[in-house]
Structure 1
Amino acid sequence: MGSTVESFDYTSLKELLKDTKAEVLTPGDGQEYEDIIQRWSESCVKRASAVVAVKSASDVSAALEQVRKHKLPFTVRGGGHSTSGAASIEDGLVIDLSKMRGVTVDPEARTITAEGGTIWEDVDVAAAKHGLATVGGTVNHTGVGGLTLGGGYGYLTGQYGLTIDNLLSVEVVLASGTVVTASKTTNADLFWAIRGAGQNFGVVTKFTFQGYEQSNPVFSGPLVFPPTALPQIVQFMNKFHETNDGRQTLVVAFSSPPPQNAPVILTQLFHNGTEEEGRAIFGDLFALAPLADMSGTVPYQVVNSLLNASAGSDGRKLFGGGAFKLPLDPSFVEGVYREFQTFVESKENFAVAQSMMLWEVVPYKKVMEVRNEETSFANRGDYYNVATMFKWFDPALDTEMRTFSRSLLKKASETAANRSKDGGVGQYGNYASEEVAANDIFGENVRRLEDLKQKYDPDNLFSHGTKLTPRPLVVVN
């Protein structure tokens, strides 16, 4: 008989895993333990009973063996960037991939292989040395694993689709501890599930992506406007929706950034081409005389760092997501802005001033070339993502922040409420909190996912996050 969870001594893992290269850290290990349980959001810092910092797929297998044998509650940490709390656990075990950050590039095949604990900075820098890039996020300290397994939008999405659309294969450790490869030709059903619902099926220790030639610099950077410019900015969003050629991306955000904490409208521009072209494409915005213009020509690998300052690691954070359709009525967006700003200003001492609401105009024609049933990811449709990123410091505000975020996103998503049935779910899984149901994220793909859970994880070992349960096999007499 294995020991019960209550009686298990987590410090014994140091002896049990001594033949691996993994490092086992427990609360008695001082600062090293304190450092490894830190997360991008302070609200997601939980005091794990032990952290197993793995360095290989075999280390993961060994850790999962102890999980199964002793029935230990556990979770997996990649980049630690999620705000759902799924990468942390109280009174349980964390399998931590943060020491697996190797990246290899095959310049002839134009492939990029990243270990499970890499962040996008690792990938961008390694690929750039060979004049290559692939579809990553918009902040380079985001984990490759979390963003990829949940879908992945980035500056190159308009040209090449989602991150998962450029995923060629994965190395994954299953609940049984078996290490397998999954691709379109090997374990194809598992590969289907991994692309959108990957956290529910195993621990991915290696990702291989398609790379693309990206030796030229790009035009990118933020413009800052007063709130009075919002109607004209919305009009440009509508125009951009019709005129972009897939090489551009536009993000529009509400915020009150320090040090002034004054309300502004931020726009982040991206054009995969020259500055002359970019300034012409975004000419209507430049004509509005921005308060600040920080745009210019930069190497592609720098682009994912431009928003890092607005996504720093201090404070408690909450991401939430919805969808919107263009064209938008400027008065509708102004109404959402007033609701957002009224809430921000209602808190004393600028307590939530660093919060943001983002309208992500990432071209989706390439995304929609892949049907929703072709991968488990089901958020492909003729709409864009809208997101909240609330930031605060007082734990007493936790519930209020979640409640307001849901309410604001519901209002912002009104324009996408009448999506066609086959147009996607309108909920990006990487922006969803843990209480969002699997049906809302995976839509009609849920049934197949539950069947595959029965095949690959029948005991539902990977249950810390979006809830998918194995569908029991029906026995016909």
Structure 2
Amino acid sequence: MASGANSFDYSSLKELLKDTNAEVLLPGDGEVYEKSIERWSEHCIKRAAAVVRVTCADDVSATLAQIRKHNIPFTVRGGGHSTSGAASIKDGIVIDLSKMRKVTVDPEAKTIKAEGGTIWEDVDVEAAKYSLATVGGTVNHTGVGGLTLGGGYGYLTGKYGLTIDNLLSVDIVLVSGDQVLASSTSHADLFWAVRGAGQNFGVVTAFTFQGYEQKNPIFAGPLIFLPDKIPQIVAFANKFHKTNDGNQALLWGFSAPPPANAPVVLTQLFHNGTEEEGKAFFADLFELGPVANMTAMIPYAQLNSLLNQNAGFDGRKQFGGGAFKLPLNPDFVIQLHAEFNAFVASHERMNESMMLFETIPYKKIIEVPNEKTAFANRGDYYNVATMFKWFDPSLDSEIRNFSRDLLKKASETATSRSKDSGVGQYGNYATADVEADEIFGANVKRLEELKHKYDPDNLFSHGTRLTPRPLVVVN
């Protein structure tokens, strides 16, 4: 695919796409270009040869036509939140969806349609006008597209499942330029694939979700503890595993955030109900004596902004992921904290890094078998993640290796998951060196066959892991 990239005159795109509504930005276009290549992680900023800001599906089709004709490498930017670099490219084209942020709510059908460039704040705010919500991310400046196509966990997962379990259809532009609707009744095989592996098959220009009536306000917020409370926090997480009814979520982990820059244990509480109910459910944590209590009754639309301060746009960042099972041994968690804290403390300006145990109820998730969607991480376990933040590029490899080793150790608890359980690797947290079968498990063969059907020349290859595999029919 890249053979024609060096000889192509990218400035000609302005003429080639003049009959569209797309905006073509080139490296010589000053601040507007520089702004267009910014990403959540500075680690992922790459100088694209051109950025095409599309406004509709027709713009995407026209851009893909030029990409096919001139054999140009490309990638797609939704929210720009990926730490694997999938939303950036050097010396190729970025199809930038950031101008496509319209959200349309049908209050009678309780559906929410979000264009491909929306972020979760757009969805949460618009849906709230109709007292609706759907399963979205826990950081609201995350792109709807990236989170959804990779599966999607959120505060409402305990009640409604994954984001993809509430996805009714996608409007998608295929590599051919064809614009199709994929749903359970139209292009059903493609709809199966996009729910977990969508980046491999086309450019999704709109997502339609099932919405649900959402009571307001809800009880949520952080409690912050000193590390000596780890045994009691682990004990509560073990209890939470047995006592939640799907209307709660608990995120907890380690960091050393400003201004004190001292090690603490962060907990993020959510109860889809009243303050009285929430405080009763999380009473064990409140009784521990947190050093900070920022819980409150808040509008649901604000919920997904609570972690934003821990996920700012400065610095280099890397996500990594694994799985853990409850109950956990407190001594094991103390050991993980000691290793994490020692590493962070030994490097300058790394204190905002986090290790997070996402105790989001999985009962609704595992009601859907792993083979029913491309997403293969449904199981009797929870996600554990690291988010390292640093500023010195020379540390990139060291951090990647440490994160991988720490997560491997944390994931030892999940080796006993049931035999029909998922892979134990959330694709949206996977680093670039994680292989396709580690993310998609037994689904990888069908995905590669569908890749051959919908993208046989593997044009959607940047930041993806699937390669086309022709279907072999044995007579």
Please indicate the TM-score interval, normalised by the length of the shorter structure.
over 0.9
Alignment-derived partner of residue 337 in structure 1: 337
Alignment-derived partner of residue 149 in structure 1: 149
Alignment-derived partner of residue 380 in structure 2: 382
Query: For 2:68 and 2:391, how far apart are their aligned partners in 1?
Result: 37
Query: For 1:316 and 1:289, how far apart are their aligned partners in 2?
Result: 34
TM-score relative to the length of structure 1: 0.98
Query: For 1:475 and 1:288, how far apart are their aligned partners in 2?
Result: 62
Q: What SS does the corresponding residue of 2:445 show, helix, strand or coil? A: helix
CA deviation string 1:266-316 (max 9, x = no partner): 000000000000000000000000000000100000000011001000000
Matched-pair contact (CA < 8 Å) for 2:222–2:295: yes
Query: For 1:177 and 1:196, how far apart are their aligned partners in 2?
Result: 22
Query: For 1:472 and 1:182, how far apart are their aligned partners in 2?
Result: 22
In structure 2, relative to structure 1, the CA distance for the partners of 1:230 and 1:309 (3 Å cut) is same
Indicate which of 450, 453, 467 corresponds to 1:452: 450
Q: What SS does the corresponding residue of 2:284 show, helix, strand or coil? A: helix
1:86 equivalenced with 2:86 (yes/no): yes
Q: Shift of the alpha carbon at 1:475?
A: 7.5
Query: For 1:244 and 1:36, how far apart are their aligned partners in 2?
Result: 43
CA deviation string 1:23-71 (max 9, x = no partner): 0000010000000100000000000000000000010001100110000
Alignment-derived partner of residue 274 in structure 1: 274
Query: For 1:16 and 1:87, how far apart are their aligned partners in 2?
Result: 23
Query: For 1:201 and 1:106, how far apart are their aligned partners in 2?
Result: 28
Q: Shift of the alpha carbon at 1:258?
A: 0.7
Matched-pair contact (CA < 8 Å) for 2:86–2:463: yes
Indicate which of 402, 405, 423 corresponds to 1:404: 402
Alignment-derived partner of residue 261 in structure 2: 261
Alignment-derived partner of residue 120 in structure 1: 120
Q: Shift of the alpha carbon at 1:473?
A: 4.4
1:38 equivalenced with 2:38 (yes/no): yes
> Aligned AA for 2:334?
E
In structure 2, relative to structure 1, the CA distance for the partners of 1:263 and 1:475 (3 Å cut) is closer
> Aligned AA for 1:78?
G
Query: For 1:383 and 1:229, how far apart are their aligned partners in 2?
Result: 23
Alignment-derived partner of residue 171 in structure 1: 171
CA deviation string 1:369-408 (max 9, x = no partner): 0000000000000000000000001111111110100010
Indicate which of 421, 429, 432 corresponds to 1:431: 429
Unaligned runs of 5+ in 1: none
Matched-pair contact (CA < 8 Å) for 1:128–1:215: no
Alignment-derived partner of residue 182 in structure 2: 182
Matched-pair contact (CA < 8 Å) for 2:215–2:273: no
Q: How does 1:35-114 map to 2 (within 5 A)?
A: 35-114=35-114
Q: What SS does the corresponding residue of 1:413 show, helix, strand or coil? A: helix
Alignment-derived partner of residue 193 in structure 1: 193
Alignment-derived partner of residue 5 in structure 2: 5
Matched-pair contact (CA < 8 Å) for 1:436–1:466: no
Alignment-derived partner of residue 414 in structure 2: 416
In structure 2, relative to structure 1, the CA distance for the partners of 1:134 and 1:476 (3 Å cut) is closer
Unaligned runs of 5+ in 2: none
The RMSD of aligned alpha carbons is: 1.2
Alignment-derived partner of residue 461 in structure 2: 463
Alignment-derived partner of residue 360 in structure 2: 362
CA deviation string 1:198-254 (max 9, x = no partner): 000000000000000013211000000000000000000000000000000000010
> Aligned AA for 2:271?
H
1:327 equivalenced with 2:327 (yes/no): yes
Q: What SS does the corresponding residue of 2:209 show, helix, strand or coil? A: strand
1:294 equivalenced with 2:280 (yes/no): no
Q: Shift of the alpha carbon at 1:442?
A: 0.2
Indicate which of 382, 391, 394 corresponds to 2:392: 394
> Aligned AA for 1:196?
G
> Aligned AA for 1:226?
L
> Aligned AA for 2:41?
S
Q: Between the two proteins, what is the percent identity of the paired residues? A: 74
CA deviation string 1:142-170 (max 9, x = no partner): 00000000000000000000000000000
Q: Shift of the alpha carbon at 1:476?
A: 7.6
Query: For 1:434 and 1:92, how far apart are their aligned partners in 2?
Result: 19
> Aligned AA for 1:68?
R
Q: Shift of the alpha carbon at 1:3?
A: 9.2
Matched-pair contact (CA < 8 Å) for 2:216–2:298: no
Query: For 2:474 and 2:384, how far apart are their aligned partners in 1?
Result: 46
> Aligned AA for 1:137?
G
> Aligned AA for 2:377?
N
CA deviation string 1:100-120 (max 9, x = no partner): 000000000000000000000
Query: For 1:399 and 1:476, how far apart are their aligned partners in 2?
Result: 45
Matched-pair contact (CA < 8 Å) for 1:84–1:433: yes
Count matched residues.
474
Runs of 4+ in 1 over 3 A off after TM superposition: 473-477
> Aligned AA for 1:56?
C
Q: What SS does the corresponding residue of 1:270 show, helix, strand or coil? A: strand
In structure 2, relative to structure 1, the CA distance for the partners of 1:238 and 1:474 (3 Å cut) is closer
CA deviation string 1:396-451 (max 9, x = no partner): 11111101000100011010023223100000000001110000000000000011
> Aligned AA for 1:85?
G
TM-score relative to the length of structure 2: 0.99
Q: Shift of the alpha carbon at 1:324?
A: 0.2
